[in-house]
Homo-oligomer: A and B are copies of this chain.
């Protein structure tokens, strides 16, 4: 239903008059694309609106802790853009990205064991833009990708906006990556049914939403599968540097370079979780032929990423202080993660079907409840008790499961984590009583 959104200006009189009374109804619906008709507002977004409530403790967002932002160092770096060639920093730039920034990114990759040059890099307006470029370049309507079941919501939205489909693969009970046997079976069945499958999307380091980290063996096995089936692997690594416990595992990009070096891995990186998200600054690493395709796609999307910010971040990186920001962030989140695990242990009811992941890094953990409890329905009860989470159902493309939730531990204070988990445990206890398992 349409209603006038603004009074009409009567230009000659220079005053505002109310428009005529009859209601005009533009038929926008007849103009929308299939994409637009399919678009659903993010469930997270809609639920988050409910969390703007005084006194509510939210584990729902994915915000980094602002106390980790190196404000003064960033301030000095930003100012340098105005004193060193501002006519470059304020002007249009190339689609590929600022050369000074790319030079710093090459060094960051080298420090992670990945050998790339500037031609392997495309600067993006953070990782979500990369997630939008990929289906534009690889998916025709009805094409498939392989991804976790569950997987990152922003990926589901991007794939849906190109009318792509997701073949979901469950995680192994060992929590060391996909159930690869199940992946092979589902893949074979889809191929046999004539489906066109283009790439495998994984977040091997502390997946969003589960927090699961892939083992070395599973990374290698996934790579061999991709070699055999001529599939690309999209390795999304926003949290890779935020490891609390366990030992460093090479990225799949590095493993490809060490194994057959086929250049079939596309790495997605961002400063959102290791520096600041407000700069919207990320990068793709890939084979130069793929980078060239991504450049053409990106050109029609935004011409180039914010030039000022590219040079600002390059100035900051040149100080060498990123490492200490990451160390600081890691210590901060490690303490909060340990504390949230302790509080869950202390307050959650003991039940064979209540368990949660113990992430070795990242920002999130995944809490599973008995099948008899629906976390979508439980959400309003949690809000009533002043605690919020993200419903697990938001992270499934299909075969949606409803008995889980994502909890963020990076943003809240320890005091809020303690109180929030107490409240959540109380809500779960109420649900257990109300919905005894059959």
A-side residues, CB < 8 A to B, are 2, 4-11, 16, 19-20, 24, 26-28, 30-36, 39-42, 45, 62-64, 66, 69, 71-72, 74-75, 78-79, 82, 86-87, 89-93, 95, 113-117, 119-120, 125-126, 128-129, 131-132, 135-141, 143, 154, 157-158, 160-162, 198-199, 230-232, 250, 254, 257-258, 260-264, 272, 276-280, 287-290, 293, 296-297, 299-309
Q: Verify B69–A278 contact, CB threshold 8 A.
A: no
Shortest distance in angstroms between A147's beta carbon and chain B's nearest beta carbon? Answer: 15
Which of A7, A89, A198, A301 has the largest count of B CB atoms less than 10 A from its CB?
A301
CB–CB A116/B86 < 8 A: no
Could you tell me if B87 and A30 are in contact, using CB atoms closer than 8 angstroms?
Answer: no
The CA-CA distance from A229 to B384 in the complex, in Å, is: 49
Q: How many chain copies?
A: 2
Our pick among B31, B62, B303 for the contact of A138 (Cβ within 8 Å) is: B31
Indicate if the CB atoms of B36 and A2 lie closer than 8 Å: no
**In this complex, what residue of B is CB-closest to A28?**
B289
Cross-chain contact B69 with A126 (CB below 8 angstroms):
no
**Which residues of chain B are within 8 angstroms of A135 by Cβ–Cβ distance?**
33
Q: Tell me whether B258 and A8 are in contact (CB under 8 A).
A: yes
The winner among A26, A132, A158 for most chain B CB atoms within 10 A is A26
Residues of B within 8 A of A119 (CB): 5
Residue of B whose beta carbon sits closest to that of A75: B82
Closest chain B residue to A29, Cβ basis: B289
Report B-chain residues with C-beta under 8 Å of the C-beta of A93: 278
Q: Are A278 and B303 in contact (CB under 8 A)?
A: no
**B90 in contact with A69 (CB, 8 Å):** yes
Q: Please determine whether A280 and B301 come into contact, CB atoms closer than 8 angstroms.
A: no
Q: Are B132 and A301 in contact (CB under 8 A)?
A: yes
Contact of A90 with B117 at beta-carbon distance under 8 Å, contacts A31-B138, A140-B33, A154-B303 already known: no
Q: A8-B261, A92-B277 are in contact. Are A36 and B301 (CB under 8 A)?
A: no
Q: Is the CB of A161 within 8 A of B117?
A: no
Cβ–Cβ < 8 Å partners of A136 in chain B: 33, 35-36, 161
